[in-house]
Structure 1
Amino acid sequence: MSDASDRSVVPTETVGPKIARANVALRLKSLRDGLGLSAAAVAKTMDWSVSKLTRIEKGEVTVQPLEVRALLGHYHISDEHVVAELSRLARLSRSRQWYSRHRLAGAFADFVAFENEAAEIHVWQLLFVPGLLQTRDYARAITARTLRTDPNDEQVKARVDLRMDRQEALFERQRGDSPPRVTVVFDESALRRPLGGHEVMARQLDHLLALAEDPQRFVFGVAPLDLEHHSGLGGSFELLKFAGTHDDVMFVEAAAGYDFLVVNREETDRHNALFKDLLDYGRTGDRALQTIRSIRDEMRAG
């Protein structure tokens, strides 16, 4: 492989550990495929199991920098720029993050990691205020109701603590040089649903209005109850967009914990168009904020 083609293997960009792992996985698989080598043949040469190599190439596990260098040697990659950059990404992918202490698993674990690195977060929510925007009281009320248990239950506390940590991580990144922007469209019914009681909901709406004072970081829309051109009835979702070359990631939080991630570009493009519809046909800007204020005032009056 020539130096010129080697240098095209790894784009230099600032990424977090989740995207770093995805980049390493993608590039290692691309290199193997480009050489026409089977996973079994490479695993045998490296004295690995085929499962280990497959999981590395799928981004399911991290790989040590020394293993990356050995693998690149087997692929005859001589460009030290490529070797150094992939080794750096492998090292970065293994760094511990704040969410490690929550012992997450499955699609939700991947979602939290991706969300923690997204440059833009687009949320359509049909049922409730999204977790990134919830007050602690509202979060306790909705979580207890979802789990059908007491608000003081340990499971409730664990889930609420994670939600608050996700928020703090977002706010910390928003204080940096490249603040991620969060755009949320609420169905009006979600804003009118008094989870935790009218006063808890009123304070939740106060919180949304406070966040909306910084439109560089938070933008809100409302799909009113009488909206005819309603594209969001198929269900809620969160679209994550990244500053580098990584494709959009969509997270769908389903009932009974059956969450899933979608990275298929056709599906994410379709939901990007759906989200644009919700912004185009719903209430945005001052009209959206006035709707939130009006509902807040009704909560307090009732």
Structure 2
Amino acid sequence: MRGLRMMSAGDSAKVHDARGPEAFAQLRELEQQSEQIFHNQLTHLPGLLQRPGYAAGLLGGITGLPGGDAGLAERVSQRVHRATAFEERLRGTDPPHLWAAVDEAALRRNVGGTAVMRDQIAHLIALSELATVHLAIVPFGSGSHPGQIGTFEVHEVADGQSALFFEGAAGDELVVSDQERARSHRDLVKGLVASSVTGSEARHLLEKISDEL
């Protein structure tokens, strides 16, 4: 089985097909080294771009755990740490390119309450102004679209090799061995970004959604 060679702490580490916690652990390594990252999001916003309040509201809703639950607090903390570390990369001297196609439904879903969503949307607007962040909103008016095959992300390293990641109720999955499949999903995101609302128009739509909450 072919794997990706990633550099970690000065040593070579092989990323390979994986499921469950191992898949997510390898994803965490990839997202700090990938040169290009492609997201297709239908039901919620990319974990890498989530604010603490949104992460807490989303995970609480999915798990059904109360706000004071220690396990939930730990999961939220991990997600916040992940997003913070990635934002540092985005604002650093050698940022990755992030391509994110977000369905309007994910933005209209009021996760955590109005104040939380307005904070989250303001964060998206700020990040979308970075040169390497390509945020696209797939509007309701688009009707059915290719991105409806499901939520996923693709991470591409310097030599062009890619890893495809799925997150779902059945467990996380990382696919490295099927490069054709990874490239197909990458190109799907590129197509959605090219045909959807981007740039200043996306920021205007985000502001409109925030005002309507």
| TM-score band w.r.t. shorter chain | 0.7 to 0.9
Aligned pairs for 1:39-50 (under 5 A) are: none
Q: Which residue of 2 aligns with 1:21?
A: 13
Task: Give secondary structure in 1 for the equivalent of 2:153.
Answer: strand
Q: How far did residue 280 of structure 1 move?
A: 2.2
Distance 2:11 2:157 in 1: 9
Asked if the contact 2:6/2:12 (under 8 Å) is kept, the reply is no
Give unpaired runs (5+ residues) of structure 2.
none
Q: Residue deviations 1:14-57, cap 9 Å, x none?
A: 9335982128xxxxxxxxxxxxxxxxxxxxxxxxxxxxxxxxxx
Deviates more, 1:171-180 or 1:138-147: 171-180
Asked if the contact 2:7/2:13 (under 8 Å) is kept, the reply is no
- 2:210 is the alignment partner of 1:218: no
Give unpaired runs (5+ residues) of structure 1.
1-12, 24-57, 61-103
Asked if the contact 1:19/1:114 (under 8 Å) is kept, the reply is no
- 2:173 is the alignment partner of 1:260: yes
Task: Give secondary structure in 2 for the equivalent of 1:22.
Answer: strand
Q: How far did residue 239 of structure 1 move?
A: 0.9
Aligned pairs for 1:110-125 (under 5 A) are: 110-125=26-41
Asked if the contact 1:212/1:220 (under 8 Å) is kept, the reply is yes
Task: Give secondary structure in 1 for the equivalent of 2:174.
Answer: strand
Q: How far did residue 223 of structure 1 move?
A: 0.5
Residue identity (%) = 33
- In structure 2, the CA distance between the partners of 1:228 and 1:145, relative to structure 1 (3 Å rule), is closer
1:276 equivalent among 190, 196, 202 = 190
Paired residue type of 1:261: L
Paired residue type of 1:186: V
1:108 equivalent among 21, 24, 29 = 24
Bigger RCO (CA 8 Å, 6+ sep) = 2
Larger Rg: 1
Q: Residue deviations 1:109-144, cap 9 Å, x none?
A: 111111121112111100011111111111101101
Asked if the contact 2:17/2:23 (under 8 Å) is kept, the reply is no
Distance 2:17 2:11 in 1: 10
Distance 2:160 2:193 in 1: 24
Q: How far did residue 175 of structure 1 move?
A: 4.4
Q: How far did residue 59 of structure 1 move?
A: 9.4
Paired residue type of 1:105: P
Distance 1:179 1:114 in 2: 14
Aligned pairs for 1:134-283 (under 5 A) are: 134-214=50-130, 216-228=131-143, 230-243=145-158, 245=159, 247-256=161-170, 258-263=171-176, 264-283=178-197
Distance 1:147 1:249 in 2: 27
Q: How far did residue 172 of structure 1 move?
A: 2.9
Q: Pairwise CA RMSD of aligned residues?
A: 2.4
1:288 equivalent among 177, 189, 202 = 202
Q: More helix per residue: 1 or 2?
A: 1
- In structure 2, the CA distance between the partners of 1:181 and 1:273, relative to structure 1 (3 Å rule), is closer
